């Protein structure tokens, strides 16, 4: 009885916060699944209402002007990325010259590694986390093999201690110190896809900088989710996708970041769009790179995909990100506390593995259910809660401040209480 009384207090808090939510109007800017609570922004963000208009605008320019749309259209395709890069630089905490909208996440990882992974017989190793998203692992493993090294001798994987689900920052710092003379690169996720842990990107970057080790970040689950200060932290390189918290559509165009200290570096893999913009159409054979991160571009801009990206990013540009993050922390903390209360008598079968402290996580909560996890996931789905299930045993839920509300949190708490009482009797 005590548990249900305590849960009732959380529900009342949700009701109060819903009435006082000064960001509630943002929800109207997105298409929402009918009669559902959408908690899957960590996998695919929702479509902004303005997206069709942005796409249609570019299609009309194409229909009316053809090739002249590159220079004569109202949006100027040739420089279209400038609208996007300006907003991305704010979300990254970077200079505009340090970011570029291009390619997909994995393509950008390969592109960055081609220039910045320069192994020698002495300094050849790469430090990554475990678990890491599979695409990152495949890309890094193939880069190691491409350079003629073995994965077993080159890759250092750092995992949580036995009995824990997240990685201690000190373990990462100690690993850097221990392997400083043999590490060529560190590649970590800003927010881990599985546990939802946000690493201390500042401390880790500064430690890597001490020893001249390239520090790179996968920001797929971080950008648009947590505050980033890549330039000030001294992060060397980063890459991300745009279809999660950036709400830019399935398979949407990604982006990358290169710190300005590397802007005199010559790109290893080159394409014509990385050529100096003022002379790009002269088709010279000697490559003259554009200034900044844009020197690493390969191809002409995918305007339709970038139009969906721009539509989504312009919503971020209308409100301070710190305000979004404040709501995000409040929603996730409230949900964390309520679920912890619901799960308190089921600790052997169901646990939250995401860190409890807000500064150590984004908006995602990962719930480990080794025995009946998939059954719980399907039961929640039947109650209208859209989340996702990651094998072998984790349910991920992510209340996004742009379109989720405290009313959504209330419905989620009720659904979890009902489902767990039914399944874990």
Would you say the C-alpha torsion 308, 311, 312, 317 has a positive or negative sign? positive
pTM score, two decimals? 0.96
pLDDT for 185: 98
Q: What's the token pair of residue 174?
A: 């100690």
Place of tokens 């929800």: 27
**Among candidate residues 47, 331, 363, 408, the one with its CA nearest the CA of residue 225:** 363
Which pLDDT value is given to residue 73? Answer: 80
Measure the CA–CA gap between 244 and 224, rounded to whole angstroms.
8
Walk me through the domains of the chain, giving residue ranges and CATH numbers.
2-30+320-423 (3.90.1150.10), 54-316 (3.40.640.10)
Distance from C-alpha of 358 to C-alpha of 351, rounded to nearest angstrom = 17
Angle at the Cα of 391 (from 386 to 393), degrees rounded to 5? Answer: 85
Distances (CA, A) of 265 to 112, 183, 290, 291: 12, 20, 12, 11
CA distance 311 to 83: 10
Report the C-alpha gap between 254 and 113 in whole angstroms: 16
Q: Which residues contact 306 (CB under 8 A, 6 or more apart)?
A: 80, 81, 84, 101, 253
Burial status of residue 163 (CB atoms within 10 A of its CB: 0-12, 13-18, 19 or more): exposed
396: which strand partners?
366, 388
Q: DSSP characters for 327-345?
A: HHHHHHHHHHHHHHHHHTT
Three-state secondary structure call for residue 289: strand
By the 8 A CB rule, do 207 and 236 touch? no
Tens digits of pLDDT across the chain (425 residues): 445 667 899 999 999 999 999 999 999 999 999 999 999 999 999 999 999 999 999 999 999 999 999 998 889 999 999 999 999 999 999 999 999 999 999 999 999 999 999 999 999 999 999 999 999 999 999 999 999 999 999 999 999 999 999 999 999 999 999 999 999 999 999 999 999 999 999 999 999 999 999 999 999 999 999 999 999 999 999 999 999 999 999 999 999 999 999 999 999 999 999 999 999 999 999 999 999 999 999 999 999 999 999 999 999 999 999 999 999 999 999 999 999 999 987 777 899 999 999 999 999 999 999 889 999 999 999 999 999 999 889 999 999 999 999 999 999 999 999 999 899 87
* pLDDT at site 181: 97
């Amino acid at each position: 009885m005590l548990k249900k009384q305590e849960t009732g207090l959380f529900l009342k808090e949700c009701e109060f916060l819903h009435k006082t939510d000064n960001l509630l109007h943002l929800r109207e800017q997105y298409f929402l699944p009918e009669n559902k609570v959408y908690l899957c922004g960590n996998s695919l963000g929702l479509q902004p209402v303005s997206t069709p208009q942005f796409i249609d605008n570019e299609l009309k320019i194409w229909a009316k002007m053809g090739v002249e749309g590159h220079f004569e259209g109202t949006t100027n395709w040739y420089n279209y990325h400038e609208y996007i890069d300006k907003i991305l630089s704010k979300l990254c905490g970077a200079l505009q010259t340090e970011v570029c909208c291009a390619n997909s996440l994995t393509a950008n990882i390969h592109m960055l590694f081609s220039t910045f992974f320069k192994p020698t017989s002495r300094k050849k190793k790469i430090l990554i986390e475990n678990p890491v998203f599979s695409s990152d692992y495949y890309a890094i493993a193939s880069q190691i093999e491409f350079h003629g090294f073995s994965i077993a001798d080159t890759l250092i994987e750092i995992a949580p201690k036995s009995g824990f689900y997240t990685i201690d920052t000190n373990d990462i710092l100690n690993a850097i110190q221990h392997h400083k003379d043999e590490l060529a690169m560190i590649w970590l996720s800003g927010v881990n896809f599985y546990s939802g842990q946000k690493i201390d990107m500042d401390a880790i970057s500064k430690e890597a900088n001490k020893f001249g080790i390239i520090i790179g970040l996968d920001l797929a689950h971080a950008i648009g989710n947590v505050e980033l200060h890549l330039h000030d932290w001294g992060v060397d390189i980063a890459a991300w996708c745009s279809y999660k918290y950036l709400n830019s559509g399935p398979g949407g165009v990604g982006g990358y970041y290169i710190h300005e200290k590397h802007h005199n570096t010559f790109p290893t893999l080159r394409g014509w769009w990385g050529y100096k913009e003022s002379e790009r159409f002269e088709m010279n054979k000697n490559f003259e790179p554009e200034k900044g991160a844009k020197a690493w571009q390969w191809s002409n801009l995918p305007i339709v995909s970038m139009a969906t990206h721009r539509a989504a990013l312009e919503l971020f540009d209308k409100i301070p990100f710190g305000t979004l993050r404040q709501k995000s922390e409040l929603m996730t903390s409230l949900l964390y506390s309520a679920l912890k209360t619901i799960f308190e008598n089921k600790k052997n079968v169901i646990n939250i593995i995401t860190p409890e402290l807000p500064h150590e996580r984004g908006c995602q909560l990962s719930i480990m259910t080794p025995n009946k996890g998939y059954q719980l996931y399907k039961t929640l789905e039947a109650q209208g809660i859209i989340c996702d299930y990651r094998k072998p045993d984790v349910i991920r839920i992510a209340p996004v401040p742009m379109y989720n509300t405290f009313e959504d949190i209330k419905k989620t708490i009720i659904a979890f209480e009902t489902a767990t009482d039914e399944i874990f009797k």
